């Protein structure tokens, strides 16, 4: 069984993608396991934890983990020839304002509503994604997060081809044991729809809040640098 990492940042539609992936018979897993990968035997922990989180026996070619934070991911795992990754990147300010909205509406984590800390998280996470992209090279596929909603069939076809799946990825997906629970992925109602849907307008488009210019500029610089590296390194 091969490791499949969905690498991204908070609010990049990773929960949606992981539910689609986990609904495919060749892929096990659908959420963050929060494992710190310090050496190769941690992949055995991944197998055990995914089996526990799904409550089902492992059946596929890939075992999936989603990573949205800068947990350790050892070079010995990144460099494995069988390791595959999907790298998701969502544009600011929508991504940052979505974190702020998450803190206001769903999860009581103080820093989620702090523009300075949310921007700092975005900058550091995108810097790590760029570093991982250089190490993974053509064993990683870059996915612009917004395209998962605007052109889902096209994006899912690319992913299925990249992973050499024997059947297509569908825009409809199943629910799992912890779907919608904070700590396991997106707690919003959008994920419970069971199929890809257009996202609601981001908070700044509704006039609920606005990202201060200094943070918007910092986030745009981080986005441009990361995107350039992903385009240079990944498929």
Average pLDDT over residues 43-58: 95
Measured distance CA(112)–CA(93) in Å, rounded: 14
% of the chain with per-residue pLDDT over 90: 79
| pLDDT digit string, tens, across residues 155-211 | 999 999 999 999 999 999 999 988 988 777 787 777 888 999 876 555 444 445 688
3-state DSSP call for residue 196? coil
Query: What's the helix, strand, coil split of the chain in %, to 5?
Result: 50, 10, 40
Q: Which helix (H) or strand (E) holds 113?
A: none
| pLDDT digit string, tens, across residues 138-149 | 999 999 999 999
Q: Which helix (H) or strand (E) holds 87?
A: strand 84-89
Looking at residue 205, its pLDDT comes to: 44
Residue, of 26 and 201, whose pLDDT is higher: 26
Task: Say whether pLDDT at 76 is over 70.
Answer: yes
Average pLDDT, the chain: 91
Looking at residue 208, its pLDDT comes to: 55
Residues 6+ away with beta carbon under 8 Å from 198: 149
Residues 6+ away with beta carbon under 8 Å from 157: 168, 169
Looking at residue 112, its pLDDT comes to: 74
What's the number of domains the chain is made of? 1
Average pLDDT over residues 60-72: 97
Looking at residue 230, its pLDDT comes to: 98
Average pLDDT over residues 41-46: 96
Q: What is the CATH number of the domain that holds 84?
A: 3.40.50.300
Measured distance CA(176)–CA(104) in Å, rounded: 25
Looking at residue 79, its pLDDT comes to: 94
Residue, of 37 and 197, whose pLDDT is higher: 37
Task: Say whether pLDDT at 154 is over 50.
Answer: yes
Looking at residue 50, its pLDDT comes to: 97
Looking at residue 57, its pLDDT comes to: 93
Task: Say whether pLDDT at 70 is over 90.
Answer: yes
Range of the domain at 145: 2-233
């Amino acid at each position: 069984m091969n490791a499949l990492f969905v690498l991204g940042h908070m609010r990049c539609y990773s929960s949606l993608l992981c539910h689609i992936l986990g609904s495919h018979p060749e892929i096990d897993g659908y959420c963050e396991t929060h494992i710190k990968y310090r050496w190769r035997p941690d992949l055995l922990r991944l197998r055990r934890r995914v089996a526990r989180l799904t409550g089902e026996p492992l059946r596929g070619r890939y075992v999936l983990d989603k990573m949205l934070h800068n947990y350790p991911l050892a070079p010995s795992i990144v460099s494995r020839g069988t390791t595959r990754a999907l790298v998701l990147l969502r544009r600011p300010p929508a991504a940052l304002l979505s974190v702020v909205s998450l803190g206001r509406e769903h999860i009581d984590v103080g820093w989620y509503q702090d523009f300075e800390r949310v921007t700092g998280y975005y900058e550091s996470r995108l810097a790590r994604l760029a570093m991982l992209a250089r190490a993974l090279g053509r064993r990683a596929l870059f996915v612009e997060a917004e395209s998962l909603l605007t052109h889902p069939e096209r994006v899912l076809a690319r992913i299925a081809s990249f992973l050499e799946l024997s059947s297509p990825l569908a825009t409809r997906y199943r629910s799992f044991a912890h779907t919608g629970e904070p700590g396991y992925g997106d707690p919003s109602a959008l994920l419970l729809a069971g199929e890809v849907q257009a996202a609601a307008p981001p908070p700044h488009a509704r006039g609920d809040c606005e990202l201060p210019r200094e943070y918007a500029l910092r986030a745009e610089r981080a986005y441009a640098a990361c995107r350039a590296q992903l385009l240079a390194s990944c498929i």
